[in-house]
Structure 1
Amino acid sequence: RTGHMILQTLYQNCVKHGVNFFNEFYALDLVMTEVDGVKRVSGVVAYDLSTGDIHVFQGKSVVFATGGFGKIFKTTSNAHTLTGDGVGIIWRKGLPLEDMEFYQFHPTGLAGLGILLTEGARGEGAILRNASGERFMERYAPTIKDLAPRDIVARSMVQEVLDGRGAGPNKDYVYLDCTHLGEDVLENKLPDITEFARTYLGVDPVTEPVPVYPTAHYAMGGIPTNNDAEVLADNDTVVPGLYAAGECACVSVHGANRLGTNSLLDINVFGKRAGNNAVTYAKSTEFIDLPANPAQGVIGMLDELRASDGTENVAAIRKDLQDTMDMNAQVFRTEETLTKATEVIAGLRERYKNVAVHDRGKRFNTDLLEAVELGFLLDLAEVLVACALNRKESRGGHMRDDYPDRDDATYLKHTMAYLAGDPHSSVATDHIRLDWKPVRLGTYEPKARKY
C-alpha cells in the first residue's frame, strides 16, 4: 500500500496549495512550435470527456506523467485506462522511444484476472507450488528459491505450465501457498492479499492456496529522458520545455530489469526533478506563440471516428491485440512468435481503419475515447514487438527462447525507436526506424546472475 499512501499524500498537498485539476480531461496531442530552427513545447490539446469539448492549454513547460501501457496485454495489473496515450503522443510527434522491449511481468497476479498480489507475501515466507504441490522454485533458483527476481520467478511459473505441471481444470496457473503463515500474519501484515483473493476468486488464503500467474506489470522503456527529467529528441539533444517522469519515462533507473519499489523511486525522485526543472524553465522564458489551429489534428481525428460507418468493433480489435501479445510477446519470445505478432498487429491496423463508433454524442462518449486509445495501443504494441525482434539476446525483462544468453559484446546498449515514413502504413518496417544508444555504466558492472 506504499504507493497508494504516497498518492494520497501528494494529492492532499496539491489541494492544500491550490493546484487546479482538470478532471476527465484527456491529453491527446502535444503542441510544438519551431523557433530558430528548434522545436519547442508550446502547449497541449485535451479532450474533455464530460462535455466533448476540445481545450488547448498554452504552456511554457509541459511535464508528462501519464503512466504505462499495460493494456496492450490481456493479463495485466494495470487499470483499464493505462493505454499509453502519453507515450503514444510522443511517438506520433516524431520523438523517439527507448528500450520498449523491456517489460516487466510480475509473478503473482490473480490467475485469469491479473490483479496484483504483493511479493511481500513471498517475503513473509509464502511458497509457489505446482499442481502436485511441489515447491518448484527449488529447481530454478536453488539458493534463494521463491525470493528470486521477478523475471526469473515469472519465467519459472510459465515454464511449469508449459511443461504440463500447471494447476486448475485447464492446467494454466500455479499456486501461491500462504496457509502456513497463519491467520494473524495474513490478516494484519498482508490484508490486501486476503481481501483480493476472497473477493475476486472466492479463495481464502488462510486455508487454501491462491491461483496465480504472471501479469504484465511495468514498462521499463518509454519516453527517453536525462537525469534532469528533460525529454530527449535523440541520444543527447533536449526538447526545450518538455519533461517526463514515472512509468511513461525512461531515464533507465531500471536498466533492463526493474527491482521492487523502483517505480516509487522513479516517480518521486524524477517527478520532483521534473517539477522543479519545469518551474525553473518556465520562469526563464516567455510564452511561445501557438501555431495556427493547434487543435485541428485532434478535432479531425475525433470527427472522423465519430462519423465512421465502419464495420469493425473497438473491443474486438483490442481483444485480438491483447490475445496475440499474451501469446507471442509476453514472458517468452522467439523470432517465430514475434514475427507472428507483427503480422497480426499489421492486420489489426488495417481493421482499425474501418472501426465503428456507435455513440455519436458528445457527453461522456467513452465509446469514442476507447477508439482513440486503441490507436495508441496498436502503435505501442507494434513498437515493442519491433524492438524485441531486433534484440537477439536475453536480458532482464526481455527473454528470447531462441537466444537464451546475454550478449554484452553486441547488445550492451539501449534501443532507440523512431517514427519514420507513413505512420498509417500497415508494415512496421515502413515506419519504424531502430537505432542504438550507448549504456553509461556506473560503479557496478553488469554480471551474469547465478542462483
Structure 2
Amino acid sequence: MSIPTRHFDALIIGAGGAGLNAALQLASADVRVAVVSKVFPTRSHTVAAQGGVNAALANVLPDSWHWHMFDTVKGSDYLGDQDAIEFMCREAIPTVYELEHAGVPFSRLDNGKIYQRPFGGQSQNFGGDQAARTCAAADRTGHAILHTLYQQNIRSRTHFFDEFFALDLVRDAEGVICGALVLEIETGEPMLIEAKATLLATGGFGQVFRTTSNAHINTGDGVAMALRADIPLMDMEFFQFHPTGIAGKGMLITEGVRGEGGYLINKDGERFMERYAPRAKDLASRDVVSRAIVTEVKEGRGCGPNGDHVLLKVDHLGEDIISKRLPSIRESSKIFAGADPVREPIPVFPTAHYAMGGIPTDRFGRVAVPAGHGAEEIVPGLYAAGECACASVHGANRLGGNSLLDILVFGRLAGKNIIDYVRENPYQRTTDSASLEQAMSRLTRWEQKGEGIPVSQLRAEFRKCMEDHAGVFRTEEIMTEGYERLCELRERLPEVRLHDHSKVFNTARIEALELENMMDVGMSIAVSALKRQESRGAHSRPDYPDRDDQSWLKHSLYYREGDRMDYKPVRTKPLTVESFPPKERVY
C-alpha cells in the first residue's frame, strides 16, 4: 500500500489550547513537531471560551492555591484525583504569568495587574468575600489565548497540517503506537505521519447532544481513536450542562455574566437561586444551577409563551460595564436571542457544554491504562491533554475557569514530558502494514455505493436520543430505553451510504467519519451513566438521589469491546498537603 509518509519527532492531533501549548514547548526545544488540525488552528474551539482562566493571583481579594484546590475538589463532588488537582492549582499561577509574557492581552485593574472576576463555585476567602480568581480578557479570553499561542508557534516554526482529518492511530509490529493516518480534506488523499510520540488534543464532544454550546467540529475524534486502540474511556457519565445557553439555540452565555453581577429570575421575577444555593446563589457550581433551572421549568415557573426557559437579568449593570466587560455576550444575545441585555433579560436554558471524562492520563499527560491489582500501565509514546483527556482534575463536575487552566497546564506539561521521551527514544518505529490497512478501512468503507440511510438522518436520530436519554436528569427507565435505542442505531450504521463520492473537499465524507466517532462516544456516555447508581456532580439520578461514597467513590472505565465496564479507585492523597475528605457539598 503506497501512501505518502512524513516523519516527525512528535505528532499533535488538535490545535486548540492544549495542542498549541504542547507544540510551543516542543518547537522551542528544537523538537520537530507536527500539528494536525481539521480546521485552521484559530478556529479551534478554545476560541469560544469566554469567562477566563482560574489562578490564585490574589490581585483583587486575598486568595491562595490551597483555596483554589479545595474549591476544585469540592466542585468535583470529591471524585477528582487530589494529587492532580493540587498540581494544577499550584501550576496555575506560573502558567498565567507565562501567557501574559507571551502576549495575552488580559484586562487590567487600575494598578496595572491582571483583572480577576468572581466565578461559580469559588469559596469565600478569609475576609468573607467571594474569591475573585478568574483572569479575564473581557469575555474573549479563549480567543486571546488561542491567537497568542498560534502566533508564538508560527514564530517557533511549528509545522502545521491545516484542514487534515485524523482517521486513526497506527502501530508498529510490537503494538506500539507510532503516529496516525490522516486525510487531507482539500484533496481527499490519505497521508501517514509517523512520530516517536503522539499527543491527542482533539477537544470535547458536545456534538453528541442535539443542543450544545460546542462547535460543529467537537465530535470526539480523539477519544474514539483511543477506543479503537483498545484504550478505555474514564468517567464518561459526567457530562456538564452549562446552565446559561441561549434558550432553544445552545450558544453559550458565559458564567462571567453572573460573575459581574447578573442573576437568574423565573416568570414571577423571583431570584430563585436563593432557594437552591442560599450562600452562593447564582454563582453556585454549574450542576447545581442547571438542575435548579430545569426544576423551575418543570414546576411551571418557566418564562416565555411555552414556559420553557428562565431569564438572565443584566440590565442593572449599566451599558458601560456591559460594553467593557461583556461585549461578545451583548453581541451574541442580540444576534441569537433577539435581546439586548442592556435593556432586557436574556432567555437561557441548560446546554450540553463540557466533558469531565475522557482518555485516562496521569498528570504528565501520559495515557495510563489499568494493569490489574489496582496498578496502572503507561502506554508508550501516547499522550492526551485537554478536554479529550481525563487527568481527573474535574471529577464529577468542573468549575468555571478551570477548563482553560486544564488545557494550558497539562498541554504545557505533556509537551515538556514528550521532549524527554523523544530524547530517550531517538529511533522512529515503522508502521505495521496490518495496522495501516485497518486504519485505511475506515476510509474505504465509505466508498460503498447504492441506496442507504443518509448520514444526516442517522446523525439527527442519534443526537436526539442522547439529549432525551442522557440529559440533566437520568433514571434507570429513561437510560435503559436510551441504551436500547442507541444499540439499534449502531446496528444501522453499516447501512449508511454517501451519495457524493468525489475526493476534493468532500465534507459529506468528513461528516460520515465524524458520525462513526460520535456514536462510539455517545455509547460510552450512555453505558457509563446507566451503570453508576448514585447522584454525584453532573450525574443526577432521581432514582438514586444520594451520593454513595461507600460504593461509588471510584472512576468508571468503558471499553468499546462488548460495552464492558470496569472501575478504579480515586486518588485522594495530594502531593504535599493534607487531603480533603468527602463531606456534604452545599453552596
Which TM-score tier does this pair reach, normalised by the shorter chain?
Answer: over 0.9
Q: Equivalences for 1:182-331 in 2 at 5 Å?
A: 182-234=318-370, 236-285=376-425, 286-292=427-433, 294-331=435-472
- Structure 1 residue corresponding to 2:570, chosen from 431, 439, 444: 439
**Aligned to 2:304, what secondary structure does the other structure show?**
coil
Is 1:133 matched with 2:273? no
Is 1:12 matched with 2:143? no
Given residue 241 of structure 1, which amino acid in structure 2 is its aligned partner?
G
Shift of 1:294: 4.2
Q: Work out whether residues 238 and 355 of structure 2, in 8 Å CA contact, stay in contact via their aligned partners in 1.
A: yes
Cα distance in 1, alignment partners of residues 280 and 511 from structure 2 = 43
Shift of 1:34: 4.5
Given residue 560 of structure 2, which amino acid in structure 1 is its aligned partner?
L
CA deviation string 1:27-46 (max 9, x = no partner): 111012243xxx32211110
Given residue 288 of structure 1, which amino acid in structure 2 is its aligned partner?
R
Aligned to 1:346: 487
Q: Work out whether residues 172 and 435 of structure 2, in 8 Å CA contact, stay in contact via their aligned partners in 1.
A: no
- Structure 1 residue corresponding to 2:545, chosen from 404, 407, 427: 404
Given residue 345 of structure 1, which amino acid in structure 2 is its aligned partner?
L
Aligned to 2:169: 30
Cα distance in 2, alignment partners of residues 119 and 367 from structure 1 = 35
Cα distance in 2, alignment partners of residues 194 and 215 from structure 1 = 19
Cα distance in 2, alignment partners of residues 217 and 90 from structure 1 = 21
Shift of 1:143: 2.1
Cα distance in 2, alignment partners of residues 183 and 80 from structure 1 = 32
- Structure 1 residue corresponding to 2:230, chosen from 94, 98, 102: 94
Q: Work out whether residues 241 and 472 of structure 2, in 8 Å CA contact, stay in contact via their aligned partners in 1.
A: yes
Is 1:363 matched with 2:504? yes
Q: Work out whether residues 110 and 212 of structure 1, in 8 Å CA contact, stay in contact via their aligned partners in 2.
A: yes
Aligned to 1:66: 202
CA deviation string 1:271-315 (max 9, x = no partner): 011111112111211111210254322332322213232421211
- Structure 1 residue corresponding to 2:478, chosen from 332, 337, 348: 337
**Aligned to 2:387, what secondary structure does the other structure show?**
coil
Given residue 333 of structure 1, which amino acid in structure 2 is its aligned partner?
R
**Aligned to 2:565, what secondary structure does the other structure show?**
strand
**Aligned to 2:408, what secondary structure does the other structure show?**
helix
Cα distance in 2, alignment partners of residues 130 and 364 from structure 1 = 47
**Aligned to 2:216, what secondary structure does the other structure show?**
coil
Cα distance in 2, alignment partners of residues 304 and 135 from structure 1 = 54
Q: Any gaps of 5 or more consecutive residues in structure 2?
A: 1-139
Q: Equivalences for 1:111-126 in 2 at 5 Å?
A: 111-126=247-262
Cα distance in 2, alignment partners of residues 12 and 102 from structure 1 = 34
CA RMSD of aligned residues (A): 1.3
Q: Any gaps of 5 or more consecutive residues in structure 1?
A: 421-430
Cα distance in 1, alignment partners of residues 271 and 407 from structure 2 = 35
Given residue 570 of structure 2, which amino acid in structure 1 is its aligned partner?
V
Q: Work out whether residues 306 and 359 of structure 1, in 8 Å CA contact, stay in contact via their aligned partners in 2.
A: no
Shift of 1:109: 0.7
Given residue 297 of structure 1, which amino acid in structure 2 is its aligned partner?
Q
Cα distance in 2, alignment partners of residues 171 and 182 from structure 1 = 28
Shift of 1:318: 1.3
Q: Work out whether residues 338 and 385 of structure 1, in 8 Å CA contact, stay in contact via their aligned partners in 2.
A: yes
Aligned to 1:178: 314
State the TM-score, normalized to the length of structure 1: 0.95
Q: Work out whether residues 45 and 294 of structure 1, in 8 Å CA contact, stay in contact via their aligned partners in 2.
A: no
Given residue 92 of structure 1, which amino acid in structure 2 is its aligned partner?
R
Cα distance in 2, alignment partners of residues 369 and 297 from structure 1 = 18
Q: Work out whether residues 167 and 442 of structure 2, in 8 Å CA contact, stay in contact via their aligned partners in 1.
A: no
Given residue 83 of structure 1, which amino acid in structure 2 is its aligned partner?
T
Cα distance in 1, alignment partners of residues 582 and 141 from structure 2 = 29
Q: Work out whether residues 173 and 212 of structure 1, in 8 Å CA contact, stay in contact via their aligned partners in 2.
A: yes
Shift of 1:351: 2.1
CA deviation string 1:249-273 (max 9, x = no partner): 0000111111111112211111011
State the TM-score, normalized to the length of structure 2: 0.73
Q: Work out whether residues 70 and 216 of structure 1, in 8 Å CA contact, stay in contact via their aligned partners in 2.
A: yes
Given residue 199 of structure 2, which amino acid in structure 1 is its aligned partner?
V
Count residues in correspondence.
Answer: 438
